[in-house]
């Protein structure tokens, strides 16, 4: 059974890692999917090709999350092609690491523009195309709940800001039956954070279940939040982190 048949999803940062897994899972559940990418057109085409090969419908759009006009244009293009957007997944993000004494204002501004401002812009733009009963889902980080190491201050700040935004937005949009939720992935096996090596071993040492997540683990939770069983689940946070934040 395809729980999302007839739905349209828009996934930012959907060309790789968790975003790609989310896009493919939503398509498998029956949704038409638009993804954005900024610097990896080949990967975006691969995601679209895999979805189409499985019988789904997908569209890749170039949009830099540092540029509000590009986000708005991509959302408008997706809505024009598919007629609406039922599901917005704010997945694109960056991480700037380093001790506070060495971090620059440019790094701070870049982090806030991509991780926070772009979410605000996407939500504002998508609401004109989202029917009542829609879904807004944002990817956070387990570091927003537990920050046990040095050098993650502005990354944690940016994702923690989205927690408050999610809770408040749930009340703003609840009258339309639109749910707003947030996911906090932990260490996930992707090309940016492989599950082998000394760094990975250190991260596993902080988990209740010493296993890296797979991108598909987060994608499965997104699919549930986008589906009919989560119609009254809103303003909530969910962890997919092997107990890292427990």
37 is catalytic: no
User: CA-CA distances (angstroms) from residue 228 to 122, 173, 179, 219?
Assistant: 23, 17, 11, 16
What's the pLDDT at 199?
A: 78
Three-state secondary structure of 164-232: HHHHHHHHHHHHHCCEEEEEEECCECECCECCCCHHHHHHHCCCCCCCCECHHHHHHHHHHHHCHHHCC
- For residues 221 and 238, what is the distance between their CA atoms, to the nearest angstrom? 9
**The model's pTM:** 0.96
Domains and CATH numbers, the chain: 8-240 (3.40.50.720)
List the chain pLDDT tens, one digit each, 246 residues.
Answer: 789 999 999 999 999 999 999 999 999 999 999 999 999 999 999 999 999 999 999 999 999 999 999 999 999 999 999 999 999 999 999 999 999 999 999 999 999 999 999 999 999 999 999 999 999 999 999 999 999 889 999 999 999 999 999 999 999 999 999 999 999 998 888 877 787 877 778 888 888 898 999 999 999 999 999 999 999 999 999 999 999 898
- For residues 32 and 9, what is the distance between their CA atoms, to the nearest angstrom? 6
Q: Which of 10, 155, 165, 238 is catalytic?
A: 155
Neighbouring C-alpha atoms within 13 Å toward the C-beta of 24? 22
What's the pLDDT at 37?
A: 97
What's the pLDDT at 14?
A: 97
Residue 230: how many other CB atoms lie within 10 Å? 18
Cβ-count burial 188-211 (b if 16+ within 10 Å, e if not): bbbeebebeeeeeeebbebbeeee
């Amino acid at each position: 059974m395809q729980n999302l048949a007839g739905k349209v999803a828009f996934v930012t940062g959907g060309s790789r890692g968790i975003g790609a897994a989310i896009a493919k899972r939503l398509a498998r559940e029956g949704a038409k999917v638009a993804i954005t990418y900024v610097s990896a057109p080949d990967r975006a085409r691969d995601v679209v090709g895999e979805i189409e090969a499985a019988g789904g419908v997908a569209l890749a759009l170039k949009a830099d999350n540092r540029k509000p006009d590009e986000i708005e244009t991509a959302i408008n293009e997706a809505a024009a092609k598919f007629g609406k957007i039922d599901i917005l997944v704010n997945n694109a993000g960056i991480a700037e690491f380093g001790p506070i004494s060495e971090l620059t204002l440019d790094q701070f501004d870049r982090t806030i523009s991509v991780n926070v401002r772009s979410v605000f812009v996407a939500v504002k733009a998508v609401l004109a195309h989202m029917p009542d009963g829609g879904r807004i889902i944002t990817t956070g980080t387990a570091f927003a709940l537990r920050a046990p190491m040095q050098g993650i201050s502005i990354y944690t700040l940016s994702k923690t800001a989205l927690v408050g935004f999610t809770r408040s937005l749930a009340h703003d949009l609840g009258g339309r039956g639109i749910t707003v939720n947030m996911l906090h992935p932990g260490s996930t096996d992707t090309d940016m954070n492989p599950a082998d090596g000394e760094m990975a071993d250190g991260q596993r040492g902080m988990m209740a279940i010493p296993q890296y997540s797979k991108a598909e683990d987060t994608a499965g939770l997104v699919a549930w939040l986008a589906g009919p069983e989560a119609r009254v689940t809103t303003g909530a946070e969910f962890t997919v982190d092997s107990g890292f934040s427990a």
